[in-house]
Structure 1
Amino acid sequence: MDLLLLSNSTSDDGYLVHATGAIAELADGRTEALFVPYAGVTRDWDGYTAQVREAFAPLGIAVRGLHEAADTLAAVNAATLIVVGGGNTFRLLQVLRQQDLLAPMAARVRGGAARYIGWSAGSNLATPSIRTTNDMPVVDPGGLDALGLVPFQLNPHYYNLVVPGFRGETRDQRLAEFTALAPDTPVLGLPEGNWLRVAGGRQALHGPHAARWFLGDRTWDVQAGPLTLPG
């Protein structure tokens, strides 16, 4: 099973520019990608797909939007590279569940027939559930279970900034609420500019920043390199 899970797509350098090398490595010569734009809410799916198509073109990868397929199940079952974009995780999960695509997509990736790239909401989708997303539940997805491709939760766009005068919870406090109620489930806070590469049952953290593990009442930072799952 081969996964590339990015925290974010945009940076000061441009759209997906910071991840070009990682995307090329994961694609490993594949020249076609199936893009899932369903997390887009305030952006239309055609425009979203066009943006990803433009970003992947220099890598020699042609992009087709899943929403463009007459038979979405057949499209998933034929894909060798599945790309899931960011946006609203609840909307993403809702549409995939409505189309009965969660199990086929997971099976395709887990069995090695397709490789998986996700960012933000697309990275959340790869975990057991979407319960550690930052997004507002703008729709009811009919359940929070996701693809379960990795055995831990992610929190993309992770930071723990304390804003003077702000009385709401910090990100660490929000994630502590999750781990208090699910003390055996690890959560990895994945900062902007970082990503995870999963291959052969092993995980590696890449990027310029330390990530943070949350498990029960414990937290600790980890640097880029091989990632050991807490237990």
Structure 2
Amino acid sequence: MKKMIIASTSTVHGSKYLTYLLPTLKNHFKDVKELLFIPYARPGGITYKEYTAIANKAFSTIDINVKGIHEFNNPIEAIKQAEAIFTGGGNTFELVNQLYKNDVLNVLKEVLEAGTPYLGTSAGSNICGVNMMNTNDMPIVYPPSFKTLSAIPFNINAHYLDPIEGSTHMGETRETRIKEFHIFNDISVLGLREGSWLEVTNNTIILQGGLTARLFQQNKKPIELESGVEVKL
């Protein structure tokens, strides 16, 4: 039975790393003593060691120790034996590239389906969808495939931003990019705003946080989902 928190971001404006989520995570990871951290996304190019230290500092406030997957000789066994798993944000292309390179994508999917508690933020949330094609990241590396975990039956656009009225910015909006995606793909996309997350219990997916989320489906008008509702396609 899946038990997942899929969050748009690790840090909301004006707060420290994971602070806004810690009350939820304390319950989500109840009885967990050690968490396996997957730091492959490397935000800003930081090292795995540096990234793991950031995660450990946050989780230490709820009495959970964090150990990076890079600290294990066998990453597959590390995932199989983990009490719980957290995949952090950063660059989704590099994250997916390393999941394939280390041959851990399938085993990660297996343990999540079996009920290992999971947290994903940003890139770590993008990989929960059918594929990673709605990431906002630059393609700094070329992963073997865009296919990801399919832990939920749609894709995530993390850090979703609404068009700003009166803005002179000439680049594409997130909505425009998702419309372009839907010319060639029929996978639904959830625009998950900063500070929002999905709570997944088996096949039930509930939107949480103080904001609405925007659901895009091919050949349909986008709809706003209220916090607290079940996400249904």
- Shorter-chain TM-score bucket reads over 0.9
Who is 1:14 aligned against?
16
Instruction: Give the SS at the match of 1:76.
Output: helix
CA distance in 2, matches of 1:17, 1:121: 18
CA distance in 1, matches of 2:114, 2:5: 16
Paired AA for residue 208 in structure 2: H
After TM superposition, the structure 1 = structure 2 runs for residues 77-92 of structure 1, keeping only pairs within 5 Å, are 77-92=80-95
CA distance in 2, matches of 1:186, 1:169: 19
**After the TM superposition, which parts of structure 1 deviate over 3 Å for at least 4 consecutive aligned residues?**
none
Given candidates 181, 184, 196, the residue that maps to 1:181 is 184
Who is 2:65 aligned against?
62
Who is 1:43 aligned against?
46
Who is 2:170 aligned against?
167
Who is 2:224 aligned against?
221
The alpha-carbon deviation at position 28 of structure 1 amounts to 2.0
CA distance in 2, matches of 1:27, 1:138: 33
Given candidates 133, 136, 139, the residue that maps to 1:134 is 136
CA distance in 2, matches of 1:83, 1:228: 22
Who is 2:151 aligned against?
149
Q: CA RMSD in A?
A: 1.1
Could you tell me the TM-score, scaled by structure 1's length?
A: 0.95
Provide, for residues 185-208 of structure 1, a one-character-per-residue CA deviation record: whole Å limited to 9, x for no partner.
211000001000000311111111
User: Would you tell me which structure has more strand in proportion to its own residues?
Assistant: 1
The alpha-carbon deviation at position 88 of structure 1 amounts to 0.1
Paired AA for residue 87 in structure 1: G
After TM superposition, the structure 1 = structure 2 runs for residues 191-210 of structure 1, keeping only pairs within 5 Å, are 191-210=193-212
Instruction: Mark the runs of 5 or more structure 1 residues left unpaired by the alignment.
Output: none
Give the conservation status (yes or no) of the 8 Å contact 2:17–2:58: yes
CA distance in 2, matches of 1:30, 1:45: 22
CA distance in 1, matches of 2:106, 2:37: 17
CA distance in 2, matches of 1:121, 1:45: 15
Who is 1:117 aligned against?
119
The alpha-carbon deviation at position 95 of structure 1 amounts to 0.7
Instruction: Mark the runs of 5 or more structure 2 residues left unpaired by the alignment.
Output: none
CA distance in 2, matches of 1:78, 1:119: 22
